[in-house]
């Protein structure tokens, strides 16, 4: 890499499921030469947060001299860790106030690297149309696919047509929210929807999934399409650990929205459910069409609120 003073960096990382096969992506923009460099890599078993940290580490390791860096990430875990939490961890001997520090090895490496450069850490909203953030996401996704292929996971996906398909969409949150679901089974399609007050988007996603699955008979195979990583990752990865720990997170805290997760867990145990990844911006016509009934349901909840 040519000698440079100013560098702009975009990083992204993830795992599918979380934890599971993971990947990271980096775009380095060299101000002096107007050139860009792309990096990517992955691990067979990791987490979203570890891949976010690894992306930043690999980006800084790629710099061959001291640079003025502006680093963009869509991970608040990474940005706040560096800009707010790191001094306290170091002062306490690499401990959090309330327990063990996760990913200590990566945080230690980052702490070494940031001494070598003048870095500004900026948060950028993911999947919001930023060209370079989207490219970093694409690189991370490619790396995840490579890890899954190496493990033979892609080959395990059934090519048989499922007995039913479910498409989910939510709109709004907090004071007013709505959900909509398209249930396709035995040649017929049914659109369900509902408006709820006082629920977050994550709660709406959980409610929508349970309502849709409960309309289907037990024992069948179902594919659920959702734009919610929270719902998909929870159903495919986190749920098993939560139940083993009596509905506690890895940090020992109570699982948020436990009653909704318990209802969904009951629906999942009665059916064979798969959750394909749906990339934002690449959603199906069914998911796009559900935006209308979801918004209408949210409006209905708002009307009820003011009566």
Q: Which of 43, 74, 134, 165 is catalytic?
A: 74
User: What three-state secondary structure class fits 145?
Assistant: helix
Contact status, residue 225 vs residue 168, Cβ threshold 8 Å: yes
Q: Which of 13, 41, 194, 237 is catalytic?
A: 13
What whole-number distance in Å separates Cα of residue 17 and Cα of residue 203? 20
Q: Which of 12, 205, 211, 229 is catalytic?
A: 12
What whole-number distance in Å separates Cα of residue 53 and Cα of residue 81? 10
Q: Is 137 a catalytic residue?
A: yes
Q: Which of 16, 43, 134, 137 is catalytic?
A: 137
Q: Is 74 a catalytic residue?
A: yes
Q: Which of 52, 134, 211, 229 is catalytic?
A: 52
Q: Which of 127, 174, 189, 198 is catalytic?
A: 127
Nearest CA-CA partner of 33 in 6, 56, 72: 6
- The backbone torsions φ and ψ at residue 159, rounded to the nearest 5 degrees and listed phi first, read -95, -5
Q: Is 283 a catalytic residue?
A: no
Q: Is 31 a catalytic residue?
A: no
Q: Is 127 a catalytic residue?
A: yes
The per-residue DSSP string of 245-256 comes to TTSB-TTSPBPT
Q: Is 52 a catalytic residue?
A: yes
Contact status, residue 164 vs residue 219, Cβ threshold 8 Å: no
* 297: enclosing H helix or E strand: helix 291-305
Task: Enumerate residues 6+ apart whose C-beta is below 8 A from 108.
Answer: 94
**3-state helix/strand/coil string of 256-268:** CCHHHHHHHHHHH
Q: Which residues have a catalytic role annotated?
A: 12-13, 52, 74, 127, 137
């Amino acid at each position: 890499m040519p000698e440079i003073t100013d560098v702009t960096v975009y990083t992204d990382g993830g795992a599918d499921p979380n934890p599971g096969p993971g990947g990271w992506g980096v775009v380095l923009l060299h101000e002096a030469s107007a050139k860009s460099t792309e990096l990517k890599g992955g691990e067979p078993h990791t987490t979203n947060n570890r891949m976010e940290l690894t992306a930043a580490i690999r980006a800084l390791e790629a710099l061959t001299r001291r640079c003025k860096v502006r680093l963009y990430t869509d991970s608040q875990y990474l940005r706040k860790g560096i800009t707010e939490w790191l001094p306290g961890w170091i002062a306490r001997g690499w401990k959090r106030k309330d327990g063990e520090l996760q990913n200590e090895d990566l945080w230690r490496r980052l702490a070494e690297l940031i001494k070598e450069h003048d870095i500004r850490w900026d948060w950028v909203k993911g999947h919001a149309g930023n060209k370079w953030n989207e490219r970093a996401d694409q690189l991370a996704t490619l790396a995840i696919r490579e890890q899954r292929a190496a493990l033979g996971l892609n080959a395990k996906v059934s090519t048989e047509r499922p007995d039913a398909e479910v498409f989910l969409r939510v709109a709004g949150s907090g004071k007013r929210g709505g959900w909509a679901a398209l249930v396709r089974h035995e040649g017929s399609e049914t659109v369900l929807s509902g408006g709820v007050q006082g629920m977050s988007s994550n709660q709406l996603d959980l409610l929508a999934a349970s309502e849709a699955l409960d309309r289907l008979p037990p024992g069948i195979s179902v594919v659920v399409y959702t734009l919610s990583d929270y719902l998909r990752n929870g159903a495919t990865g986190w749920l098993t650990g939560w139940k083993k720990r009596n509905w506690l997170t890895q940090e020992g805290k109570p699982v948020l929205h436990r009653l909704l997760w318990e209802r969904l867990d009951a629906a999942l145990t009665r059916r064979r459910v798969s959750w394909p990844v749906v990339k934002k911006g690449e959603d199906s016509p069914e998911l796009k069409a559900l935006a209308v009934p979801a918004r209408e349901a949210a409006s209905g909840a708002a009307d009820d609120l003011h009566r």
